[in-house]
Amino acid sequence: MSLNGGDVVVSTQMEEAPTFAPCLPVPNIQETVRKNPLKVPERYVRSEEEIEKVLYMPHFSSQVPVIDFGLLSHGNKNELLKLDIACKEWGFFQIVNHGMEIDLMQRLKDVVAEFFDLSIEEKDKYAMPPDDIQGYGHTSVVSEKQILDWCDQLILLVYPTRFRKPQFWPETPEKLKDTIEAYSSEIKRVGEELINSLSLIFGLEEHVLLGLHKEVLQGLRVNYYPPCNTPEQVIGLTLHSDASTVTIVMQDDDVTGLEVRYKGNWVPINPIPNALVVNLGDVIEVLSNGKYKSVEHRAMTNKNKRRTSFVSFLFPRDDAELGPFDHMIDDQNPKMYKEITYGEYLRHTLNRKLEGKTQTDATKIKECGI
């Protein structure tokens, strides 16, 4: 892909929200735990080897880097260098000084907690249909034999607004819709500025990466992990990498759960109050020809506390064309990924179970030996 790969005008082609292949219905885990808090049903129990317990070796007390977003968005060269290192080394970082009001973050947490505390009958008014990935339920379940995640989800496509499906936006609590709107608009600001900074560390003009998206789509997934009596037996969200360009996560301040794979070990991301966690998605890995990787991560559960994460995926429009930039390819770095449209890639990813990074194989060039 050449440097001016982004000079594409937004077309009016895709006026329908993207659709997806069927996903199997799963039991509601919050309801399962409410009825019997002590029992962990067979379908959730993982083998020891799948859990791969964390080895807390001394140097793994290290944490993902922290980036000052204020400095970054003012073009501070040192912060840009820190971003480059964070992306190469971890694929994950936390951002502070992002400019979002703390009160807005808390309001979203409160109003979403109220939603999850509603009766199952009330929440099921927004149930995810088998052929969609929006609504209240759980995605990525494709087989009756699949071991399930200890997590319920509410998924909404937020931007562009013309793709919204109002039937999935909860009417109760009354303030939920407006609060999601206000929060997501702030995430859009932060996310698009981050993509501009990524464009700079790619060695491109500031707006090239955003341009090749044609239009940035934004989804919100709220993951609700109830407490689990034997947390060492289950996984909240199976290890995976994100199919997005970037993902921005607001997590609870007082409970750990998100873990990132780092040098073969699982490193928990300790919450920094009011910070946001950012991770690079598969789009960045493909465009950078693997220089910046979308790193595997997972969520674990907790014996006594429920945990909620608010995950915003920013990703390109279906007809955006992806492939490594020419200047990321040379003799030492042969081309690793094929050209593909984002729509093909997203469908391939979302129509399967979460399984580490196996979805990026779809774009890999096998001759490169990986």
Ligand X SMILES: O=C(O)CCC(=O)C(=O)O
- Encode burial over 41-54: b for 16+ CB neighbours within 10 A, e otherwise: eeebebeeeebeee
**Residue 294 sits in the site that holds ligand LDLEV5G5 (CB under 6 A):** no
Count the site residues for Fe ion by CB under 5 A: 1
Least distance (Å) between residue 301 CB and ligand X: 10
| Beta strand ranges found along 90-195 (DSSP E) | 92-96, 135-137, 152-159
> Which amino acid, residue 95?
I
**Residue 112 sits in the site that holds ligand X (CB under 6 A):** no
Taking the C-alpha atoms of residue 118 and residue 31, their distance in angstroms, rounded to an integer, is: 11
**Residue 18 sits in the site that holds ligand LDLEV5G5 (CB under 6 A):** yes
Least distance (Å) between residue 242 CB and ligand LDLEV5G5: 4
Task: Looking at residues 286 to 305 of the shown chain, list those that interact with ligand X (rule: CB under 6 A).
Answer: 297, 299
Task: Looking at residues 333 to 362 of the shown chain, list those that interact with ligand LDLEV5G5 (rule: CB under 6 A).
Answer: 350, 354
- Residue 173: asked if its preceding bond is cis (omega within 30°), the reply is yes
Query: For ligand LDLEV5G5, which stretch binds (CB under 6 A), given 97-105, 174-182, 197-205, 242-250?
Result: 242-250
CB-count burial class (<10 Å; 0-12, 13-18, 19+) for 233: middle
**Residue 242 sits in the site that holds Fe ion (CB under 5 A):** yes
Q: Binding pattern to ligand LDLEV5G5, positions 120-159, x when CB under 6 A?
A: -------------xx----xx--------------x-x--
**Residue 242 sits in the site that holds ligand X (CB under 6 A):** yes
User: Choosing among ligand LDLEV5G5, ligand X, Fe ion, none, which partner's interface includes residue 251 (Cβ < 5 to 8 Å by kind)?
Assistant: ligand X
Taking the C-alpha atoms of residue 342 and residue 319, their distance in angstroms, rounded to an integer, is: 6
**CA nearest to 339, candidates 368, 363, 304:** 363
Structure tokens at 36: 């019997």
Taking the least distance from each CB to ligand LDLEV5G5, the nearer of 82 and 261 is 261
**Residue 1 sits in the site that holds ligand X (CB under 6 A):** no
Taking the least distance from each CB to Fe ion, the nearer of 204 and 267 is 267
For the residues of 322-344, what is the DSSP string, one character each?
E---GGG-SSSS---B--EEHHH
Q: What are phi and psi of 291, to 5 degrees?
A: -65, -40
- Residues near Fe ion (CB under 5 A) are 242
List residues near ligand X by CB under 6 A.
Answer: 221, 223, 237, 242, 249, 251, 257-258, 297, 299, 309, 311
